[in-house]
Amino acid sequence: MKAIKKITVLMFTFATLACNANSEKNISETTPKETLTETGQQYIKVALLLDTSNSMDGLIDQTKAQLWEIVNELSHAKCQSERPNLQIALYEYGNDGLSEAKGYLRKVISFTDDLDTVSEKLFSLTTNGGSEYCGTVIKASTNELDWGTNPDDLKMVFIAGNEPFTQGKTYFKDAIADAKEKDIVVNTIFCGDYNHGVRSSWKEGAILGKGEYMAIDHNQHTVHIASPYDDIILQLNVKLNATYVPYGRGGRKRVQLQKEQDKNAQGYGKANAVSRTISKSSHLYKNTSWDLVDAEAEEDFSYEKIEEEDLPESLRGKSMSELKAYIEKMKQERNQIKEEIALYNKKRKAYIDTTKEKATNPLESVMLKAIKRQAKEKNYTWN
């Protein structure tokens, strides 16, 4: 038996809903799990187009620091009482270190539900330059990503930057027109003064794209509010990590990646690490490509396909029934830990609601406002 590398070819591409769409998982060095769509499930699909020119360090920091709170809010989305899946794609543009021939842009990661990889790629971004061509990167994301054709999917572009929206050889109105043909909503986030963004055509871009125009102070420090339950939740995170059972040639590396992203979240404060733990306890955090507990729940999973050498050393030599019993034990433990995290998170949120201190995180605030407004038009609701 050889390590499982599932490439589930599906026909449709930040959710499993009672509407239609499926996913394809491509395992590669760049994106351990990319997902395309097909009939049967529905998705919230978010493409982040981030300006990585010299002045955008604050924007990148805000995205890193607020990723998990955004994911957590999306985990509460529902459509006809069903929970949707989330897929995120990431582009950088406006960086002089990138190819001039390609318009100083790079597809960092295609649509994926692998949140550890999304975090890893965000933390790999650096700023340099630059020349910011908004129309060019919108066109690239429209044409290069698999948006699917399911009319019930929520498809959104969020482009953030601070230079005129009109720069580059690709006219932004043409790029947005192409996006609209694929039912993609284009939201614009100007990093600077609101009126300056209006004069620079960022608002016009959002209006044409049927999205939201937003202006933020991209250099504002992210505020995470601490609670008395943070330490307990982080202790539960350690227990949660212990329930993962890596398999395949990349399994051990993925365990290390999981720990690295825990550490990256911790770098923005304990409360942010708590937010990541909450995300890891939600249905949006999936690791079927390397974790046997998640993989075992997949319809096309088969223990017979697993080679002995693909298992952790502690599980080699065990019979099929012993292996299944161990995976079931880890599954039960994980579910119990997730329930405990949910319980303490409920207490944490109640505590935060009573504090006078308020989190004022501009990127998170404007993105969630836009997502919820656009989701409402497709009959999404929030718990």
Parse the chain into domains and list their residue ranges. Answer: 23-223+359-382, 230-354
- What is the predicted pLDDT for the residue at 358? 65
- Stretch 236-246: mean pLDDT: 98
Per mean pLDDT, which range of 140-144, 189-193, 304-308 is the poorest? 304-308
Q: 23-223+359-382 has which CATH code? A: 3.40.50.410
The answer to whether residues 22 and 41 touch, using CB atoms and an 8 Å cutoff, is yes
Tens digits of residue pLDDT in 148-165: 988 889 999 999 999 999
Amino acid at 198: V
DSSP three-state, residue 67: helix
- CA dist 224 and 221 (Å) reads 10
DSSP three-state, residue 50: strand
Q: Give the confidence band of 27 by pLDDT, cuts at 50, 70, 90.
A: very low
- CA dist 102 and 138 (Å) reads 13
Name 117's Cβ contacts closer than 8 Å, sequence gap at least 6. Answer: 31, 32, 33, 109, 257
Query: Is the confidence at residue 275, as pLDDT, over 90?
Result: yes
Within 13 A of 187's CA, how many CA atoms are on the CB side?
23
Query: Is the confidence at residue 26, as pLDDT, over 70?
Result: no
What are the structure tokens assigned to 48, written together? Answer: 């982040």
Q: Give the confidence band of 217 by pLDDT, cuts at 50, 70, 90.
A: confident
* CB-CB neighbours of 171 under 10 Å: 13
- CA dist 329 and 134 (Å) reads 50
